[in-house]
Amino acid sequence: MEEEKFALLPLPNTPYKLSEWRKTKVRPDYHITINSMFYSVPHELIGKEVEINVSPKIVEIYFNHMRVASHPTLNGKFGQFATIKEHMPGNHRLYVEQTPEEAIKWASTIGPSASHVVTFILEQYDVEKQALNAIFTLKKLEQSYSIYEIEEACRLVLEATNRPTVKSIQTMIKTLQKENVRKAKTRDSKQIDEKYGFTRGASYCSGGLTPNRPSGSLMWTCTVSDDFTVK
Q: Tell whether the model's pLDDT for residue 208 goes beyond 90.
A: no
Predicted confidence at residue 224, as pLDDT, reads 46
Listed by start position, the domains of the chain span 20-88, 97-179, 196-231
d(CA 128, CA 52): 40
Q: Mapping DSSP to helix (H, G, I), strand (E, B) and coil, where does residue 88 land? A: coil
Instruction: State pTM to two decimals.
Output: 0.49
Give 25's contacts (C-beta < 8 A, 6+ positions apart). 32, 47, 48, 49, 50
Q: Tell whether the model's pLDDT for residue 219 goes beyond 90.
A: no
The string of pLDDT tens digits covering residues 174-205 is 999 888 877 777 776 666 656 555 555 555 55
Q: Tell whether the model's pLDDT for residue 35 goes beyond 80.
A: yes
Q: Torsion angle, CA of 90/116/145/149, rounded to 10 degrees? A: -150
Q: Which pLDDT band, with edges at 50, 70 and 90, does 85 fall under?
A: confident
Q: Mapping DSSP to helix (H, G, I), strand (E, B) and coil, where does residue 187 land? A: helix
Q: Which pLDDT band, with edges at 50, 70 and 90, does 126 fall under?
A: confident
Q: In terms of residues, how long is the chain?
A: 231
Mean pLDDT along residues 137-163: 93
3-state helix, strand, coil in the chain (%, to 5): 45, 20, 35
Give 92's contacts (C-beta < 8 A, 6+ positions apart). 43
Q: Which pLDDT band, with edges at 50, 70 and 90, does 4 fall under?
A: confident
Predicted confidence at residue 143, as pLDDT, reads 87
Q: Tell whether the model's pLDDT for residue 60 goes beyond 90.
A: yes
